[in-house]
Amino acid sequence: MTFDDLNLLPALLKALHTAGYERPTPIQQQAIPHVLDARDLLGVAQTGTGKTAAFTLPLLQRLHEAKPTNQPTGPRAVRALILTPTRELAIQIGESFETYGQNLKLRHAVIFGGVSQHPQVQALQRGVDALIATPGRLLDLINQGYVNLKHLEIFVLDEADRMLDMGFINDIRKILPLLPKQRQSLFFSATMPPTIQQLADTILRNPVQVAVTPVSSTAETVEQAVYMVEKTDKPYLLLEVLKNPELRRVLVFSRTKHGADRVAKGLTAKGIGAEAIHGNKSQNARQRALQNFKSGETRVLVATDLAARGLDVDELSHVINYELPNEPETYVHRIGRTGRAGAAGVALSFCDLEERAYLQDIQRLINREIPVEDSHSYANNDVAPVPLKGPNITKPKGPAGRPPRAPRGAGAPGGSAAGSRREHTRPAPAAPRTAPAERRSQGKAPTAAAGKPSTNGRSGSRRRRRD
């Protein structure tokens, strides 16, 4: 099947062909016809399956073909709302609207927190057909009278499970009564726990369900490997791995904001272009780091899980889990950053002694044993591989071993639309300071990038900026 078989407008097909897209992904094949038929839709799909185009393309077509009804005089009223949890994902969806809708006379705007609202308000006052928003900033602008949703025709809730994780559930419940009852609703989530299913039931009417690539599976095009290594050797192992020129554009995951900064600084000190992206960075800094990474100016982007949600980077060759996540589903989302839409990719994971329990949970979730790569300088028999079927491994104590905090109350953001859950602040491994060979000759353990012992700073304990 090609996009030409999906009854899309010539203007949309022209944009797709210009962008080099020829064949739709499975979720696009299944979802687009139902959305064009004005059906409510429940889509269960993990990251990297092409779901953004699955709702963006038919949404653009429906807005183009349908004449606005009951529109007020003056600027265009919002006819479609796409609600998404993070700024990066909102920007990515906005870029998709720009790409796919380049031959249509439709306007869209992207609004999110962390930056001045003035340009966003100006765009709204000029009139937009489609609005892409994060919940916090949307509620702010609604309360200020800049956004009116009375004329809404299509509502899209994207990444619903992440909305719940980030504490947005109460914000969503405040927004829903402001939407017209007669509307088309599209609901997308990578997982469907009971709370998400209940939310879907309150939003959708007689929906069509489309489910592809469950969260417990990883893309077959992604080659996976795990390195068993001592925690203190991780900085040196990262340097060794990055010596391979095939790692052209690499996304490195850290569990903490502090750790992301230290890894990026350590790599930069060794002459490797690297930047960090996380919730404590300003929006301008995050966008600058992301653009440098996309353009190839920066080779390595070090990110936390929340900051990386929604990242869509072409030709991302490798994902490296510098620290394994303590939630196995997060591993699937992480490595889904590469191998997107059928492309090939490589996911490498560093596993120390404390993280063997996390590796066990990951392998049980994806129902496969990740191959161990032992042909590296820091292979250590003290960190044993983890068989797929074996006794339970005890999880470490302390912040790294705790389950994620549930949002206060019934998921209320508690004054922060980014949610009450904070990123863990367990000290990250020190950034590389001396070369591997130098370290062996000195017989010393790695030191922090600034030449001082690692401390547990306050950067991870501050509340995340409101989206």
Q: Where are the domains of the chain?
A: 3-212, 222-442
- Amino acid at site 403: P
* Mean pLDDT of all residues in 99-121: 94
Q: What b/e string do you get for 275-300 counting C-beta neighbours within 10 Å, with b at 16 or more? A: bbbbbbbebeebbebbeebbeeebbb
pLDDT tier for residue 68 given thresholds of 50, 70 and 90? low
Check residue 457 and give its pLDDT. 42
CB 290 within 8 A of CB 260: no
80-83/154-157 β-pairing = parallel
Alpha-carbon gap, residue 275 to 427, rounded angstroms: 19
pLDDT in tens, 387-445: 988 889 888 765 455 554 444 444 333 333 333 333 333 334 444 444 444 444 444 44
Whole-number pLDDT of residue 290: 86
Distance CA 451, CA 431 (A): 10
Question: Could you tell me the pTM of the whole model?
Answer: 0.60
User: Do 3-212 and 222-442 fold alike per CATH?
Assistant: yes
Using pLDDT thresholds of 50, 70 and 90, give the confidence band for residue 291: confident
Supply φ then ψ for residue 86, to 5 degrees: -125, 160
Give residue-wise pLDDT tens across range 22-55. Answer: 889 889 999 999 999 999 999 987 766 788 999 9
How does residue 454 score in pLDDT terms, banded at 50, 70 and 90? very low
**Edge-to-edge strands, sheet with 300-303:** 222-228, 345-351, 318-321, 250-253, 300-303, 274-277
Q: Supply the pLDDT for residue 218.
A: 61
- Cα 306 to chain center, whole Å? 7
Share the mean pLDDT of the chain. Answer: 82
* CATH superfamily of the domain spanning 222-442: P-loop containing nucleotide triphosphate hydrolases (3.40.50.300)
Q: What is the pLDDT of residue 6?
A: 94
Cα dihedral 224/294/47/404 (nearest 10): 80
* pLDDT above 70 coverage of the chain, percent: 78
- Among residues 417, 345, 336, 346, the alpha carbon closest in space to that of 51 is found at 336
Domain 3-212 CATH class label: alpha beta
From the list 171, 114, 122, 176, the residue with the least C-alpha distance to 146 is 122
Please name which of 78, 169, 194, 188 lies closest in space to residue 132, comparing C-alpha atoms.
78
Please list, residue by residue across 305-328, b when 16 or more beta carbons sit within 10 angstroms of its beta carbon and e when fewer do. bbbbbbbbbeebbbbbbbbbbbbb
| Distance in angstroms (rounded) separating the CA atoms of residues 357 and 363 | 10
pLDDT for residue 115 is more than 70: yes
C-alpha 316/C-alpha 344 separation (Å) is 9
Q: Residue type for 453, please? A: P
